[in-house]
Chains A and B, each alone.
Chain A
């Protein structure tokens, strides 16, 4: 019973190894902070470029007709419905983990959108909306003339 304790404090512990272990523990704690947390559904990712923005959401197994995408000014709204498969007579669930129901999500973009030119692609369960920046708001280069 005493043995382990004496060994530990008797200078037999490799300090380099202990430090390595501590580092691993810390890495573990901090890596958990890095994970994106979705506060609203569905979670979205957004890429911004000079000409347009691309907003992506993972929405597997949704009928594209049941999805609604609206753009007003600089706000994009994604909404829709995911229905649970109805069970037939004599069938039962072993597991039911996939979420279902209505969802709605709004996202404000850093610029106004050219509503006419918005494109949406639904592929492999991922919805991708391309939102071009409105012409009036595009950055303009101002040339400086020297006298």
Chain B
């Protein structure tokens, strides 16, 4: 059961009674976040999104990714069977201080967004030695 749920898309929870202006479902893209030595790499599943319909912003310490998906329409066809719903994607993350805001790489391929958030070089961990008097 747990495995099946992994394939279902997770809708975004509306907070504080605020509603969206567009009458369309919004989903949380599933992400993998990998911490490497000099960067934080993020992969997000956003099927139906391409480079033109994707929006990535960093405001202070909030990274926001949102993508618009236009549902397909086939003339002369009717939807006979549906197991998934098509909707936009929206998700925000809090990023730490050591991420270099000006050096973020974004690449989308086959509906997967890859974000490379480089760590700022000057914020190396400094150890403070304590002297005893």
Contacts and interface: CB of A to CB of B under 8 A. Distances in A.
Contact of A41 (B4, B49, B50): B4
B83 A94 contact: no
A124 B47 contact: yes
Nearest to B85: A36
B72 interface: yes
Interface string B90-131: 000000000000000000011110000000000000000000
Contact of B31 (A41, A51, A97): A97
A131 B40 CA distance: 42
Contacts of A44: 81, 83-84
Interface in B12-53: 30-37, 40, 43, 45-50
A62 interface: yes
A48 B110 contact: no
Given A97-B31, A124-B47, A124-B48, A38 B78 contact: no
Q: Is the interface of A mostly helix, strand, loop or mixed?
A: loop
A97 B112 CA distance: 13
Q: How large is the interface on A (under 10, 10 to 19, 20 to 34, 35 or more residues)?
A: 35 or more
Nearest to A45: B82
Interface in A1-59: 35-51, 53-54, 56, 58-59
A72 interface: no
Contacts of B112: 60-61, 125
B79 interface: yes
A55 to B, nearest CB: 9
Contact of B8 (A37, A46, A94, A126): A37
Interface of B: 3-4, 6-8, 11, 30-37, 40, 43, 45-50, 72, 74, 76-85, 109-112
Given A38-B4, A90-B37, A92-B35, 7 more contacts: A36-B83, A45-B83, A91-B37, A93-B33, A94-B40, A99-B6, A124-B110
5 contacts: A36-B85, A61-B112, A87-B34, A99-B7, A125-B48
